[in-house]
């Protein structure tokens, strides 16, 4: 199950898991056509799409019932859906209370809602894995806005808490990219990504496939880890004022 699976990092993860033989449920919010088009490109299987609203937990409950009836279990949940706006950190007027809450709901409560209702199906897997797509903004406090940074810090903390609470049946990871070559942050173009990449040791732009490779590795290789953060940003000690994931 991949929330936000119709584009960006989520879509890259969908394609990579499908190539490995997984059956995918592609969660989407506003673009049913894009989700359908992606599903049609995947290797033959029982792939489905599901409309989800991060702010409406009931949509996850309905999905859980459908997945239980169809599959009896969920092996992997990738929480890739999220929301942000590019707002300078000093502009407190533009980041008003309503927008702050909206970002927290999308980036923290939304993933929690998915985890909470799918936990029984993840336990039924015998080796369930949850990957929360976070950001280096959660620990650098440098990102698209103050609320976004706070939301990713909260997501990382929640990942640690749930890794402790729900083991050994379910493993938890935060995969934390730096600036990724997607359209997630409005106004961030390729030239900005390339300029930032030149200041890192690896000097390369982080692509969605780089992040999805880390996501897959959490499932297939990091069997003795849980509640931990996997950083994908090409830099061991980033202190740049770039928009986060």
Catalytic residue positions, numbered: 148
- Termini Cα distance of the chain: 20
- The verdict on whether omega for the bond into residue 157 sits within 30 degrees of 0, i.e. cis, is no
Distance CA 229, CA 134 (A): 9
Q: Which alpha helices (DSSP H) does the chain contain, by range?
A: 8-19, 32-41, 57-71, 97-104, 110-125, 137-140, 146-166, 190-197, 208-220
**Exposure b/e, 209-232, CB count within 10 A at least 16 = b:** ebbbebbbebbeeeeeebbebbbb
Give the C-alpha separation, 234 to 236, whole Å: 7
Rounded-to-integer distance, Cα 183 and Cα 214, Å: 20
- Report CA-CA distances (Å) from 34 to 5, 6, 46, 51, 167: 10, 6, 18, 12, 35
CB atoms within 10 A of CB 100: 17
Tell me how many helices (H) and strands (E) the chain has: 9, 7
Give bridge partners of residue 173 from the DSSP assignment: 131, 228
């Amino acid at each position: 199950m991949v929330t936000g699976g119709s584009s960006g990092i989520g879509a890259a993860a969908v394609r990579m898991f499908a190539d490995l033989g997984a059956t995918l449920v592609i969660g989407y919010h506003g673009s049913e056509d894009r989700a359908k088009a992606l599903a049609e490109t995947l290797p033959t299987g029982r792939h489905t799409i599901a409309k989800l609203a991060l702010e409406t937990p009931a949509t996850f409950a309905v999905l859980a019932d459908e997945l239980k009836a169809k599959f009896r279990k969920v092996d992997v949940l990738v929480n890739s859906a999220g929301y942000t706006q590019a707002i300078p950190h000093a502009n407190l007027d533009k980041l008003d209370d309503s927008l702050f809450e909206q970002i927290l709901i999308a980036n923290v409560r939304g993933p929690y809602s998915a985890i909470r209702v799918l936990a029984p199906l993840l336990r039924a897997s015998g080796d369930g894995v949850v990957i929360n797509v976070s950001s280096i903004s959660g620990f650098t406090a440098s990102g698209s806005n103050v609320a976004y940074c706070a939301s990713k810090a909260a997501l990382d903390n929640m990942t640690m808490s749930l890794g402790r609470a729900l083991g050994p049946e379910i493993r938890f990871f935060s995969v934390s990219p730096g600036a990724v070559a997607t359209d997630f942050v409005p106004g961030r173009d390729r030239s900005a990504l390339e300029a930032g990449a030149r200041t890192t040791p690896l000097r390369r732009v982080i692509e969605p496939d780089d992040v999805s490779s880390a996501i897959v590795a959490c499932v297939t290789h990091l069997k003795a880890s849980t509640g931990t953060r996997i950083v994908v940003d090409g830099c061991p000690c980033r202190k740049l004022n770039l928009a986060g994931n």
